[in-house]
Amino acid sequence: MKKAIGIFDSGVGGLTVYKAIRNTFPNEDLIYFGDTARVPYGPKSPNTIIDYSLQNARFLLQQGIKILIVACNTSSAVAIPALQNLSAIPVIGVIEPGAEQAAKTTKNKRIGVIGTEGTVHSGAYTVAINKLLPEAVIFSQPCPLFVPLVEEGWQEHYVANIIAEEYLADMKKQNIDTLVLGCTHYPLLSKTIQKVMGEEVTLVDSAKAIAAYLSCYLDRENDGQKGKDTFYVSDNESKFSEIAQRILQDNISNLTRVHLYESWFKD
């Protein structure tokens, strides 16, 4: 039987990762879990994020997946070692693919990283980029208000522009040539971010980077069967569907709300 790729995020933003993977691997079955009951993860402490991530992963492992994709940058930044201890299947987060892409893109070795507070404070992108490019200088900035802006559908609203100008004012002075969009929601703000940063700065979309990275684990061979999509959320399916429609420009079906079963909390 064909096993699916499991993807989890703190909520709906990880659909940017789902979309990139679906476009690259049209024949794979994908199971997406969005922890909409407990979003946002960005401002929470590392221990809480690790707990939630393990519970989400256990749920997906119970569905019999072959690879676990951690779409959430905040979970990827702090929970990958714990998640890798859970199971023998490959566990892939967004940080390494994004860091690799940034290291390949930069010419002047001055790189910006924006993300949630959790991601930026973890320093995970800085460590991953410097592993590949020790001489690179990294500038990081949390941009927490970008998440609700996207969820409200205001990514091109003038308010988004004002907030982006405010958050990115220091970043603009650093002469960076590459900026990592280190949060699931930020690719949806890329027009606004590009406008504020200027055309000379290349934006690295961690969602696209992980889809490309996955090619090392899967072949794109076409077995002629269109992949199946299954979506689960821990709360509010209708809100998820509404935002998903905006992100994917398509209606999603096969969406189920699951409760936080006790079995998720057991080792």
> Which residues form the catalytic set?
72, 183
Quick one: 35 exposed, middle or buried, by C-beta within 10 A (0-12, 13-18, 19+)? buried
Give me the phi and psi of 196, to 5 degrees please.
-70, -40
Structure tokens at 248: 């994917």
Distance CA 248, CA 246 (A): 6
- Cβ closest to ligand DGL, residue 9 vs residue 100: 9
Neighbouring C-beta atoms of residue 213, cutoff 10 Å:
18
* Chain residues in the site for ligand DGL (CB under 6 A): 9-11, 13, 39-42, 72-74, 116, 119, 147, 183-185
CB 118 within 8 A of CB 49: yes
Omega before residue 148 within 30° of 0, cis: no
Q: How far is the CB of 264 from ligand DGL (least distance, A)?
A: 18
Distance CA 128, CA 134 (A): 10
- Cβ closest to ligand DGL, residue 119 vs residue 140: 119
- Length of the chain measured in residues: 267
End-to-end Cα spacing for the chain:
26
Residue carrying structure tokens 């590459």: 178
Q: Is the dihedral of CA 115, 100, 214, 245 positive or negative?
A: positive
Q: How far is the CB of 119 from ligand DGL (least distance, A)?
A: 5
Q: How far is the CB of 255 from ligand DGL (least distance, A)?
A: 18
Q: How far is the CB of 105 from ligand DGL (least distance, A)?
A: 20
Q: Shortest Cβ contact with ligand DGL: which residue?
A: 42
- Cβ closest to ligand DGL, residue 18 vs residue 108: 18
- Cβ closest to ligand DGL, residue 137 vs residue 248: 248
Q: How far is the CB of 2 from ligand DGL (least distance, A)?
A: 28
- Cβ closest to ligand DGL, residue 116 vs residue 202: 116
